[in-house]
Amino acid sequence: METLGEDLILLAVRPNGNLGAAATLRFGLSGSELVRLAAARRVDVVQGRIAVLDATPTGDPLLDAALATMTGSGRHQPTAKAWVQRTRRGLVESYLDRMAGAGVIRAERGTVLGMFPRTRWTVVDTTRLVQARARLDAVASGSGAADAEQAALAGLAQAIGLVPLIYPGGVGATARKNLKRAATSSRQATILAASDAVDASATDAATRAAMSAATDAAVRAATDAAVAASINAATQAATDAAGHAAAAHHGGAAGGHH
């Protein structure tokens, strides 16, 4: 889970150096942070709202910045949908800068027509890219049930529009279909939380085992809920962004006629 957001960045870097799904990538990164925080048991998603369970720093500055924006109580707790869709300026750039600083990607800055700045990106750590692509391919192949990390990566890539770029044309049709099905299944998933009663007369060892099992189940439920919520929110945000862009385009075109 720790590399979920960076995996999206790696998959977004296209052969020509551009970032695929650049307009919606931020929604995928926000979704990845929600999933990672749930997996770390720092937050839970309860009836669609984010509940902060542990606000202490995680050690990851970007994740800590995300966690700091999730505070609230009762009705003031942000919904997962609203939080993922929230504008957080510089989010994509922060991930790019960190990955460039770590030598995972490289920025090549220049200009277009000698005056417009442009940045091309190159993946330097190809092993990381191969690993990220393998996680996505595992879902795209439709060969079996995906784990939470694979489901999150596949669902978020689908939500922000990366999938058609990674699996284009006729040869990618089956992969696109499998990924769309996986994303839909995640969005429609009903998360059931179950707690096991611990017999007061049980031995200490049995009690510890039961508590451990209950904790593991809670983590899985929180992570699954976050995966479903983040995919749903990112999908809606990307759809809304595309609608606004289309409306602006048509408005500008209409305004150009006299």
Q: Which of 223 and 247 is assigned the larger pLDDT?
A: 223
C-alpha distances in angstroms, 202 versus 24, 197, 199, 206, 209? 52, 11, 5, 6, 11
What pLDDT shows up at residue 48? Answer: 87
Q: Is the pLDDT of residue 245 over 50?
A: yes
Model pTM score:
0.83
Contacts of 53 (CB under 8 A, 6+ apart): 41, 42, 43, 44
pLDDT value of position 158: 93
pLDDT over threshold 90, residue 225: no
Superfamily in which the 4-255 domain is placed by CATH? yeast vps74-n-term truncation variant domain like (1.10.3630.10)
| Residue 15 pLDDT greater than 90, yes or no | yes
Domain locations in the chain? 4-255
How many other C-beta atoms lie within 10 A of the C-beta of residue 250? 10
User: What value does the mean pLDDT of the chain take?
Assistant: 83
Query: 107 in helix, strand or coil?
Result: strand
Lowest mean pLDDT among 53-62, 186-195, 237-246: 186-195
Tokens of 100: 């460039």
Least confident of 3-7, 72-76, 207-211: 207-211
Q: Is residue 188 very low, low, confident or very high in pLDDT (cuts 50, 70, 90)? A: low
Contact 44, 220 (CB under 8 A): no
Residue 240: predicted pLDDT: 85
- The pLDDT assigned to 205 comes to 47
